Amino acid sequence: MKALSQKRRHPLAAIALLLMGLLLTGGLYAVATTVNQAKASTADFSASDTEEGGKLFAANCATCHGMGASGTQDGPSLVGVGAAAVDFQVGTGRMPMQMNGPQAYKKPAQFNDQQTHQLAAYVASLGPGPSIPEAGLLDEKGDSAKGGELFRTNCAMCHNAAAAGGALTRGKFAPALADVSGKHIYEAMVTGPQNMPVFSDSNITPEGKRDIITFLKQIEANGSPGGADLGALGPVSEGLFVWIAGLGVIIAFTIWLTSRTS
C-alpha cells in the first residue's frame, strides 16, 4: 500500500486510474446486461427432438395455439415462452387444457417425459425464452431461512404463508405447493403461468429461487407434529374448530360442574 500511495502523484497515475475505472464499469455492465437475457438454450435438444415435437404440436396443440404456435383466438402465441413454460404446463397436465374456464387445472400428464421433452424442444426452437432449470438449482440445498424470507415477501400473499394455496378473484386460485416438484416450482416462477406474475432472474436470482425451493421442501418434510394442521388455512378452519369443539368442551364442563355425583 505504501508503494501505491507514493506513486499516486506519478504523471501516468491518472491514466491508469481512468483505465481501471473504465474496465470495471465495462465489466460490470457486461455482467449486468447478460442477467436478463432470455436464454435460447437449444443445446439440450437434438434436431430430431425438435422435429418430433413439431409433429406432436401439430397433432395436439395447434387447434388452439395455431400452426407454428402463432396463436389464435382460443390460445396465445407460444413464440418466446421457452422450454420451461412447456415443461411446466404439459408436465403438470395443465396443458392440453380440458375445457375453458377461469383456470387450467392440474391433472395427470397426458404426455410422457420424452414427448414433453420433444414439445419443449419444438417451442424453444421458435424463439428465445426461459429454459428448463439445471439440476444444480433444484438440489434443495440452499439457504431455507433466506428462501422463507423471499417466499413470505413474494409468494405468501397468494400461496399462503404455509404454501397451502388460496383463492383469487372470480374462480381463480393459487394452488397449494405441497407435492409440486422443485423443477415445476422453478419453471412457474420464471414463466408466470396463467395469472401468476413472472419472477424473472433479475427479480429473484437463480440462487434465491433455489432457496425458495429449499424452504418449500423443508416445510413440506417437517409436517405438523402438533396434530392436524386443518389445511393450514388459518383463522377460518381453526376458528371453526375452536367454536365447535372448544365450546362443546366448555358446555360439557359446565354440565359436569353442576351435576350431582351418584
Partner 1 sequence: MGNHSDGSPNHSGTVATAGQNEVEKFQDPGIPPHRLRLADTDPKAAKRAERQVAILFGTSVVGTVIFLVAYFAIDLGDDSTIATIRLQNALLGVGTAFAMLGIGTGIVHWAKALMPDHEVSEERHAIREEDDRQAAVRIVDDIVEETGIKRRPLIRNTLLGAVALAPLPALAVFGDLGPRPDDKLAHTMWAPQEGKLKRLTRDPDGTPIKASDVTIGSAFHVIPEGLNELHEGKLNEKAKAVVLLMRLDPASLNPSPGRENWGYNGIVAYSKICTHVGCPVALYEQQTHHLLCPCHQSTFDLTKECKVIFGPASRPLPQLPIAVDDEGYLVATSDFKEPVGPSYWERDEHERSING
Binding residues (CB under 8 A) for partner 1: these are: 32-33, 35-36, 149-150, 153-154, 157-158, 166, 168-170, 172, 174, 192, 194-200, 202-203, 218-219, 221-227, 256-257, 260-262
Q: Residue 154: CB partners within 8 Å, gap ≥ 6? A: 199, 203, 204
Min CB(86)–partner 1 separation in Å: 17
Min CB(118)–partner 1 separation in Å: 26
Rounded to whole angstroms, how far apart are CA atoms 65 and 50? Answer: 17
Min CB(137)–partner 1 separation in Å: 19
8 A C-beta contact, residue 65 and residue 72 = yes
Cβ nearer to partner 1, comparing 108 with 225: 225
Min CB(189)–partner 1 separation in Å: 11
From the CA atom positions of the chain, what is the Rg in Å?
27
Cβ nearer to partner 1, comparing 51 with 201: 201
Residue 131 bridge partners (DSSP): none
Cβ nearer to partner 1, comparing 14 with 38: 38
Cβ nearer to partner 1, comparing 72 with 114: 72
Cβ nearer to partner 1, comparing 16 with 145: 145
| DSSP for residue 135 | G
Cβ nearer to partner 1, comparing 64 with 168: 168
Residue type, 15: I
Min CB(7)–partner 1 separation in Å: 31
Q: What cell was used for 160?
A: 399462503
Rounded to whole angstroms, how far apart are CA atoms 125 and 122? Answer: 5
**Sequence-separated contacts (24+) of 200-209 with Cβ below 8 Å:** 200/36, 200/130, 201/35, 201/36, 202/35, 202/36, 203/154, 204/150, 204/154, 206/133, 206/137, 207/137, 207/142, 208/146, 208/147, 208/150, 209/133, 209/137
Min CB(5)–partner 1 separation in Å: 30
8 A C-beta contact, residue 181 and residue 76 = no
Min CB(135)–partner 1 separation in Å: 24
Cβ nearer to partner 1, comparing 155 with 180: 155
